[in-house]
Structure 1
């Protein structure tokens, strides 16, 4: 397909990368990026690039990746609860300053022959182009005013992005208790001698701390666009003094938000196609807008090169990318719900909590994690089973005895007669989940069943965990025998006490 002129709305990572790849693939095509902001001005701090994304960038554009890796900072990962710390080796992950990421992408776009226009707001309908790539972000005007079937779900928790002026040794996940409740940081170092500090909490803690008032003040008419919630920053600076080591928190339009998950029925219309956050978002605890947008750009340009017309190219692009995006959104949703209820798990030893963290979304099973962090997993298993693990891992987990409420069970599959609950929820922390928890409180124990698919099983394991933690009653979860690895992960993570495989169910 021969493109005469292509326009890209949005000068973020996805837009700039798509523009470069388009120009490299179509040297005769005029490619122009329209960014309403000024060059060099950006909100945010560091950006993480995982190993899988790096491999895809290496195949698509090794020159750009080489410079990004050179500008990045590699680091491991730690979980810290009080004075207890557990570390997992993961130096394939790099943190890059968002300003440097954009500068690299701008240079490489211009080197390829892309024209960059800043400081003017443009709309897709007003552009003279054969192809319009709408990479105009989570608040996409293109999506909101087009026939894309866009919708947005808003999370329950509150979070804010800030930074600090020194590089942490590792990525750090750390909860801190305050007089108002628990706050949790996800922090990581990035190039330039700084670190990103993302901090989140639940709605009730946020309100008790008075941050509903400071949020309203930071968003009041007349407040400078780039202003931060300084009251929250100073409070959090004291709360996370142990992690900050005397350094300050830095704001950059830092305000409390709820996470918005964007989905669209379709990603294209006419000659316009959505890319990145304009088409989809995934919770920051497992997804990365930068990763998704740059991988979108790769798939879009490949489809344009292989298809005979725009319609066929857009269909191929969506056919390739939508399954990957929806899978990640599903994982991210589970991770989001886990983090929104995180403080309830702080009774677990830190090694078991790390296992719970890694397995929270169902994509890092215990039998795989053990190869990454054998010492962590072995300690967690000994905490769970009372002795060092031996033999086949899943079988060993299922075979551990349990003492609960004065009753002793020879293994985790010996389930007594229990009150049966049927769970077909999407969110175990919903009002419907509240009803099931209240019902469980009236029993000596519950056996939770539901639809047979894996997603439904993972959800009822989350419900079982909520019931265990809030009521203390014995919990058992029913699932297909082929999901025994998921059941083992859940047992070690404290999500359930006992399990029933369907071939054993009455």
Structure 2
């Protein structure tokens, strides 16, 4: 279809990007973007862009992607735990300052002919245009004004986080916990300029309260920075920060909100980015999702004969990948919630657990990226020398490792039900192993496992999501009850079972055919 008039609400990356794409494809269309804040007023620090996102942006608009890459900062990735540091030598991670990214996208939108209106707050109902794109963020006034029409739900997470930065470039992206008298704080940091890094810190509610941050949050005005928290965290992370201070920008403790909408469009209004959906920051940025939404919407509008068909197509084709990412992000979020429980693992084995936590990366795929890390991690798993870990055929090698534990001995990690011996058997039907249902199940099993030498066999539905949930529950059982955990796994999910073994989520695999 050929568009005549479009209004975009919201001047973030998603709004600016889709405005440019539509103006390039429909030169005769009037494209107006409205942003209530001034152009020089932005919040946040750096934005990371992974390889796949870069490929998608290049395919949609190579010119703007080239400008983004030119002004980005490349970095590697590391994890540091209790004095052990392990580096993943990736060469395709980039980050860019949010204000710099907006400058680039603003320039390219204007060059395409988009009319930008800053300092103007308008609603969809006020606009007499063919299409309204609401890219107005996680607190979208458009969505909230018609929450029932969009079928909107917002789930607020228990743990807390704050975004801040520092005034030097970290040597790499880094995941690092600090253990304080109040509890554990975990930082996700990465450089995005020669003199700037993003530094996100998260913690559980109990630690947050013990540190007094419930009080500092209450007395910090909404448009100000919680300087007391930043001062405390600057001292706590002083080694990683090399004694540089943490910098705020309306920085305060927040709880992540997962936005879902049953419908992404109503009449001529369509939601885009955080207005329609959010996914936890540990798996991918809202910037990535919003810009890729823009690509999908532009393609749907070009291919459809009319607007209703186009908006239906956009949602039908885009929703499955977004919902898959949201499910992956939920799993990743819960893994990070419980990250402090894994600090006993050697850092290389912990990196394997991190990379395979959401079922997106196998051990072999991670080894292509960081063979030395995987080799050291598997040596810890198997209790052998690094030189004994094979260069390939890792799956059969991991499965063939013997296990001696709590009076039991198995010649390999792949066993039959008979070889497992006496055990409790549990059908895993909880959605969240770390939530109340998981708590109740672990408590019940913890009271009964001594009857069968502390061995548990887990079963789940034969889909990947249920299998990954089973592995997560297995990790809870191993840690909370000390039981030997076996999981019945279909051969289709062997690579995921191997990752679960190497990461300490389960102890044994029972062949589904036994």
Question: TM range, normalised to the smaller chain?
Answer: over 0.9
- Per-residue CA deviations over 1:344-399 (Å, capped at 9, x if unaligned) read 01111100000000000000111111111111111111111123223621111111
Which residue of the partner structure matches residue 204 of structure 1?
A: 206
Post-superposition Cα deviations, 1:36-87, rounded to whole Å, max 9, x if no partner, equal 1111111100000111111111111111111100100010100001221111
| Residue equivalent to 2:455 | 445
Q: 2:166 matched to which residue of 1?
A: 164
- 1:421/1:436 contact within 8 Å kept: no
8 Å contact 2:160–2:205 — kept in the other structure? yes
Residue of 434, 440, 456 corresponding to 1:435: 440
Question: Which residue of structure 2 lines up, in the alignment, with residue 142 of structure 1?
Answer: 142
Question: What secondary structure sits across from 1:396 in the alignment?
Answer: helix
Matched, 1:417 2:417: no
* Separation in structure 2 between the aligned mates of residue 191 and residue 166 of structure 1, nearest angstrom: 8
Deviations 1:251-270 (A, max 9, x none): 01111111111111111111
Contact 1:419–1:446 (Cα < 8 Å) also in 2: yes
What's 1:339 paired with?
Answer: 336
CA distance in 2, matches of 1:193, 1:482: 47
CA contact (8 A) 1:5 1:131 kept: yes
Identify the range of structure 1 (449-458 vs 98-107) with the bigger mean alpha-carbon deviation: 449-458
Quick one: which of 280, 288, 305 aligns to 1:291?
A: 288
What SS does structure 2 have at the residue aligned with 1:167?
coil
Q: CA deviation at 1:417?
A: 2.0
Tell me if the contact between 2:403 and 2:409 (Cα under 8 Å) persists in the aligned partners: yes
1:367 to 357, 364, 367: 364
Aligned to 1:487: 497
Give the TM-score normalised by the residue count of structure 2.
Answer: 0.95
Tell me the number of residue pairs that the alignment of Structure 1 and Structure 2 aligns: 499
Distance 1:179 1:313 in 2: 56
> Aligned equivalents of 1:40 and 1:214: distance in 2?
28
Q: Deviations over 1:416-465 (max 9, x none)?
A: 22111221111111111111111222312211112221111110110110
Query: CA RMSD of the aligned region, Å?
Result: 1.1
For structure 2, list consecutive stretches of 5 or more residues without a partner in the other structure.
none
Q: Is the 8 A contact 1:163 1:251 kept in 2?
A: yes
Counterpart contact for 2:2–2:302, Cα < 8 Å: no
The aligned runs of 1:243-254 (5 Å cut-off) are 243-254=240-251
Shift >4 Å, 4+ stretches: none
Q: Is the 8 A contact 2:456 2:483 kept in 1?
A: yes
Matched residue, 1:152: 154
How does 1:5-20 map onto structure 2 within 5 Å?
5-20=5-20
Corresponding residue to 1:468 among 478, 498, 511: 478
TM-score, length-scaled by structure 1 = 0.97
Deviation of the 1:413 alpha carbon: 2.3
TM superposition shift of 1:192: 5.1
